[in-house]
Structure 1
């Protein structure tokens, strides 16, 4: 990693790991894997409450989250769920979207790459293997992974994605920074922006508040908070990269 810290870390909810990351990677954004949260939800909460808990997971405003959480706690807390719910509230800054907006996630909410790597390495393993057979299997699996990564790296360095949205400058800047798979995720999000309509605009201190909706579905609106200072930082970074 050339002595560079990662911009973001996704792990399970292990307390020792959370403490270690906070000490070694101070200042790095850290979140709990959504897959593990889902598994814990199913273990600790009644089935009827799961969808309501998921709305907490995706709530983007801290104020709204606090109101919804306390309402959720009063409704569903019981001797069986009380301890787990208090533990999740104490860790809310590691899993609730309202507290993770400053992180560099690129749409990732789970440690899916780690899980897929484990799956690849454990493929075709069985209890009849000797130590030598197991080591040879792992070596072969790693060779295949490195060949695939080298092919993807060559493709990324020798090709340039084609801009297709009305935000050509953003696409060109993103194409220089991100790998093709990540770029196409961003391109898809940019293409969706064209279908959004601003219904109302408000000023709140240093922030601009927008109420937006899809043009073909205006009955459902969304609350968006825009901070110009943060946008200026992003713009400066893009200009330096360009």
Structure 2
């Protein structure tokens, strides 16, 4: 969303509803066909078919559109939150003087913790 505002801020001026329509495409649609239709309407309504940022963003829609990610278990986080969470976990246990083996051990521990949390959440859903 922050990148969208940065790259598309000019479309959000003077009472425009672009941001509302864009957010709806991102978070408010549960069906892939409905998303495709809403995306096409968004491009047509704001005449942004040629916008390169929107084109590249659309090409990776499986990573950010809610309806494409609904079959992926992510502990209630969006894809960017997952990567930020892993980055934070790795940084918290890293030191600049670690050799590659120490780094890999830390990295493996972070992954094991993430996997354990995922299994625990899945188990709790079954109870």
- TM-score > 0.5, shorter chain as reference: yes
CA distance in 2, matches of 1:91, 1:72: 17
- 1:152-197 CA-to-partner distances (Å, cap 9, x unmatched) read x8xx9xxxxxxxxxxxxxxxxxxxx515xx94xx5xxxxxxxxxxx
Gap regions ≥5 residues in structure 2 = none
Closer, same or farther in 2 for the Cα pair 1:78/1:57, shift >3 Å?
closer
TM superposition shift of 1:121: 5.3
Q: Which has the larger radius of gyration?
A: 1
Q: Give SS of 1:43's match.
A: helix
- Answer 1 or 2: higher relative contact order, Cα 8 Å, separation at least 6: 2
Q: Pairwise CA RMSD of aligned residues?
A: 3.8
TM superposition shift of 1:134: 4.2
Closer, same or farther in 2 for the Cα pair 1:63/1:117, shift >3 Å?
same
User: Which residue in the other structure is 2:77 paired with?
Assistant: 108
How does 1:109-188 map onto structure 2 within 5 Å? 109=78, 110=81, 111-117=83-89, 120=92, 134-135=96-97, 177-178=119-120, 183=124
Q: Normalising by the residue count of structure 1, what TM-score does the alignment of the two structures yield?
A: 0.34
User: Which residue in the other structure is 2:66 paired with?
Assistant: 97
Greater per-residue strand proportion? 1
Greater per-residue helix proportion? 2
Closer, same or farther in 2 for the Cα pair 1:66/1:78, shift >3 Å?
closer
Gap regions ≥5 residues in structure 1 = 1-37, 123-132, 157-176, 187-237
Q: Normalising by the residue count of structure 2, what TM-score does the alignment of the two structures yield?
A: 0.59
TM superposition shift of 1:66: 1.4
The alignment covers a number of residue pairs equal to: 105
Q: Does the alignment pair 1:62 with 2:32?
A: yes
